Structure 1
Amino acid sequence: MSNSRRKTPVFGICVCQSEKDDKKRWHRRWRSTERMALGNATPEGLGAHLPVLEKQVSDVWSMGKDGHIYRSLQSQAAAAESRASRLGRTPQERAALKKRLLKKWMSK
């Protein structure tokens, strides 16, 4: 799996790498709300209990990522070339930086 690559080049629009912490907070809030609702229900009311909805405890707009975008290989190459030309000092350094960026973006 060391050479695995993305099947479709879709990236998140954000500055954060992952929504892991947001999802952990959401699930913790959802479980505690569900636990309280089940604890307060009467034995007769358990059959009519409806689970807590996702939108009652969370808002996707408050999470770190704002969505996803498709970036073709050509646009990735152009972005890597632009960044490499800004950061690299020598032609060899720019080529190595471009190659490293493309490999990083296409990996899982």
Structure 2
Amino acid sequence: MSRSVRKKPIMSWTTCRSEKDDKRIWHRRWRAHERTALASSPLGDEDGNLPVSVNQLSNVWDMGKDGRQYWPLAKQKKTARRFARRIGRGRKERKALEARLIHKFMGK
């Protein structure tokens, strides 16, 4: 996946690297709710077990990545240039660093 590139520059606003733990907690709640619903319904009643919606057990905005925003390429270049100026020593090093940062921003 080292060559995969974002087709659209839409990034997540995040305070964490992954929502893995949040999704794990949500699925535990969902499975427990389904187990209790199946245990409490009579055997012959097929309509008694209705599926649970996502919003009944969890809120998407409570998870680690809580939204997305469009980050245009022009702003990415400006940010990369600013970082490169701060870190890079020579002109050649700054250009290489800027290109590497843009590649990193657009990578998946």
Same fold (TM over 0.5): yes
CA contact (8 A) 2:29 2:57 kept: yes
Provide the TM-score with structure 2 as the length reference.
Answer: 0.85
Higher strand share: 2
Identical aligned residues as a percent: 48
Tell me the equivalent position of 1:11: 11
Question: For each residue in 1:13-68, what CA deviation from the matched residue of structure 2 results, as whole angstroms up to 9, or x when unmatched?
Answer: 12222222211221121111111111111124332321122112101111011211
- Is contact 2:26–2:57 with CA below 8 Å preserved after alignment? yes
Cα distance in 2, alignment partners of residues 34 and 104 from structure 1? 42
SS of the aligned residue for 1:49 comes to coil
* TM norm structure 1: 0.85
Q: Runs of 5+ in structure 2 lacking a partner?
A: none
| Aligned partners of 2:41 and 2:48 also within 8 Å | no
How many residues matched? 108
What's the Cα RMSD here? 1.7
Structure 1 residue ranges (4+ consecutive) displaced by more than 6 angstroms after TM superposition = none
- Deviating more after overlay: 5-14 vs 92-101: 92-101
